[in-house]
Structure 1
Amino acid sequence: MDIDASSRRLVLVGCICAGLGVAAGAFGAHMLKGMLDERLLAVFDTATRYQMYHSFGMVLSGFAVRIGRDTGAAKAGWMFLAGILLFSGSLYGVSLLGVRWLGAVTPVGGALFILGWAILGWRAWRSAGR
């Protein structure tokens, strides 16, 4: 894949995820306060926070691809997206829909987050030696 296209895609998708994270945070703060109990509101808040952190990670990965001229760093960004979908998505489902079994999916998303950071760190370490 073209380095510039890979970088642009990651930055764009990361920014979209961040924008949706802001919208989810506002929704939680303003619309859900009276609708969810404190425990479920905290679950929703955790989903939103981790979505934001890893949206920034996607953008960072996109810039790492561009600056380092290394498409391998893109793998980290796509791990972050998969993590957002599984980790945050499952927590949104638990808190908003009451589908408790989705909580079993959450650790898979967390593992993808960890893997994404490991890949990004490894690619940065490896490129520093060039």
Structure 2
Amino acid sequence: MAASLVVRRFAALSGASAVTAGAYGAHGFKNSDPDDYQRQLFETANQYHFYHSLALLGAAHCGKPAVAGTLLMAGIGMFCGSLYHQALTGDPSMRKAAPVGGMAMIAGWLAMIL
């Protein structure tokens, strides 16, 4: 299967899961304080999840879709995943993955130049 097809499919799954997570966050944190740190973490994770799901669509059409797509997917998993985890569980044990994930996202955007 071509790398661009795999990246497009992952983009579709990522976008769908971002919508699902956003809906959960809108309802799951409904009665919490709007200044609640966990809610803010969740909203940040969801926002970046959406942005990078759309970036994956672009990555599927760049010169090296496997490179850009892999970096973006890794970034979504590490950055958004660690923020979602902390927001939902209150456990900060995975927070060190967030900066690594952020760097992977940046590298993914830059890889689309290739």
TM-score, normalised to structure 1's length?
A: 0.80
1:90 touches 1:103 (CA, 8 Å); kept in 2?
A: yes
- Measure the CA separation in 1 of the matches of 2:73 and 2:65: 13
Unpaired segments of 5 or more residues in structure 2? none
Counterpart in 1 of 2:85? 93
- Return the offset for 1:117: 0.8
In structure 1, C-alpha distance between the alignment counterparts of 2:60 and 2:32, rounded to whole Å: 37
1:62 aligns with 2:54: no
Whether contact under 8 Å (1:58, 1:78) holds in the other structure is no
Deviations 1:39-76 (A, max 9, x none): 11010000011111111111111122xxxxx3x23211
Q: How does 1:50-129 map to 2 (within 5 A)?
A: 50-64=48-62, 70=63, 72-121=64-113, 123=114
Which is richer in helix? Answer: 1
Report % sequence identity. 34
Cα distance, 1:11 vs structure 2: 0.4
1:32 Cα offset (Å): 2.0
Residues in 1 aligned to 2:58 and 2:7: alpha-carbon distance in whole angstroms: 9
The corresponding residue for 1:47 is 45
Contact 1:33 1:41 in 2 (8 A): no
Show structure 1 runs of 5+ residues with no match: 65-69, 124-130
Q: Which has the larger radius of gyration?
A: 1
Q: What CA distance in whole angstroms lies between the structure 1 residues aligned with 2:66 and 2:91?
A: 32
1:32 corresponds to = 29
CA RMSD of aligned residues (A): 1.5
Opposite residue 76 of structure 2, the aligned amino acid is I
SS in 1 for 2:61: helix
Report the TM-score when normalising by structure 2.
0.91
* Cα distance between partner residues in 1 of 2:28 and 2:92: 21
CA contact (8 A) 2:3 2:66 kept: yes
Moved over 4 A (4+): none
**Matched residue SS, 1:63:** coil
